[in-house]
Amino acid sequence: MVWRDVIAKTGAYLEAKGVDSPVVAAELLAARLLKTGRGMLGNFVGREADERQLEAMRRAMARLTAGEPVQYVLGEWDFRSLTLKCDRRALIPRPETEGLVSRVLAGLKSGDVVIDVGTGTGAIILSLAQESKTPGVFIGSDVSGDALALAKENAARTGLADKVKFLAMDGLDDFDEPQVLDVIVSNPPYVKAAVCDTLDRSVRDFEPRLALDGGPEGLDFYDRYLGDALNLLKPGGRVYFEIGEDQGPAVRKLMEDYGFGQIAIERDYAGHDRYASATLE
């Protein structure tokens, strides 16, 4: 069978099984097996698929129809200019989070010590290390050993292992000295605990709960990290958070209560509150 037919049949099958964006999924799977980009598939669709490739498509289809996200089935996903290994050890990096990186980059100064708390795949800190125009110290931390192992694999595959240090740490608990950080960035777990069980099956059953559950109001980690930031940031240091779309007012209030200045709540491309930042004055 030629690839044109493989893709058409796969798309139709996935659609019948209720998989989201079935044609895109079929094309992404085909592109991965053909070691090309989705946009280049036109050059390959007349070729015969061999039995090994067809078997790989069948296995991938079974995973997709069982509800597994396409990113995990593919095993890698793009974030900004990096292609990151992506599997069930960590949250799938989301496009909104790319905007968090832009905001941190805009404020970076030479020599800044930057920590990404809850680094997951390493998406944020690896992008910062790669794209920063100035030298700095880049640290990714996570309480999950699985996530940290994946982040280290991503550092190695993107050639950034020498630029980023990874720490196994619960929150910011292991710093002994005050005023050691210039920037704290985090996309923390921010889903309300009660909502975690009602999330879409592809998230609820496949992504780590540890990456999602932000406590009763989804605000636990902002409260905790802001409290720690008071002690750990140098004067003038900055915090940058990704937030849930309904959390802007509550996160602003937390920042005010802790005495931070220059507080900004900004929107993502969809027009939802998504980014909170503040400065320790």
Q: What angle do CA 250, 119, 180 make, to 5 degrees?
A: 80
If binding is defined by CB under 6 A, does position 117 make contact with ligand SAM?
yes
Span from 19-27, 160-168, 187-195, 266-274 in contact with ligand SAM (CB under 6 A): 187-195
The nearest distance, CB 162 to ligand SAM, in angstroms, is 21
Closest to ligand SAM by CB, 44 vs 241, is 241
Residues within window 85-114 making contact with ligand SAM, judged by CB under 6 A: 90-91, 93, 97
Residues within window 63-82 making contact with ligand SAM, judged by CB under 6 A: none
The nearest distance, CB 137 to ligand SAM, in angstroms, is 18
The nearest distance, CB 98 to ligand SAM, in angstroms, is 10
Residue nearest to ligand SAM (CB): 118
Distance from C-alpha of 31 to C-alpha of 87, rounded to nearest angstrom:
18
Closest to ligand SAM by CB, 174 vs 281, is 174
Closest to ligand SAM by CB, 32 vs 89, is 89
- Three-class DSSP category at 277: strand
Q: What angle do CA 121, 124, 130 make, to 5 degrees?
A: 105
Distance from C-alpha of 95 to C-alpha of 97, rounded to nearest angstrom:
5
Residues within window 240-279 making contact with ligand SAM, judged by CB under 6 A: none
CB 230 within 8 A of CB 279: no
Closest to ligand SAM by CB, 57 vs 91, is 91
Residues within window 118-177 making contact with ligand SAM, judged by CB under 6 A: 118-121, 123-124, 142-144, 147, 170-171
Contacts for 93-96 with beta carbons within 8 Å, 24 or more apart? 93/120, 93/121, 93/123, 96/242, 96/268, 96/269, 96/270, 96/274
* Contact pick of 10, 71, 187, 202 for ligand SAM (by CB under 6 A): 187
Closest CA to 276 of 18, 253, 257: 253
Other C-beta atoms within 10 Å of 142: how many? Answer: 27
Closest to ligand SAM by CB, 14 vs 86, is 86
The nearest distance, CB 90 to ligand SAM, in angstroms, is 5
CB 127 within 8 A of CB 81: yes
Here the tokens at position 142 are 């996570």
Span from 17-25, 42-50, 186-194, 244-252 in contact with ligand SAM (CB under 6 A): 186-194
CB 36 within 8 A of CB 43: yes
Query: What residues make contact with ligand SAM under the rule CB under 6 A?
Result: 90-91, 93, 97, 117-121, 123-124, 142-144, 147, 170-171, 187-189, 210-211
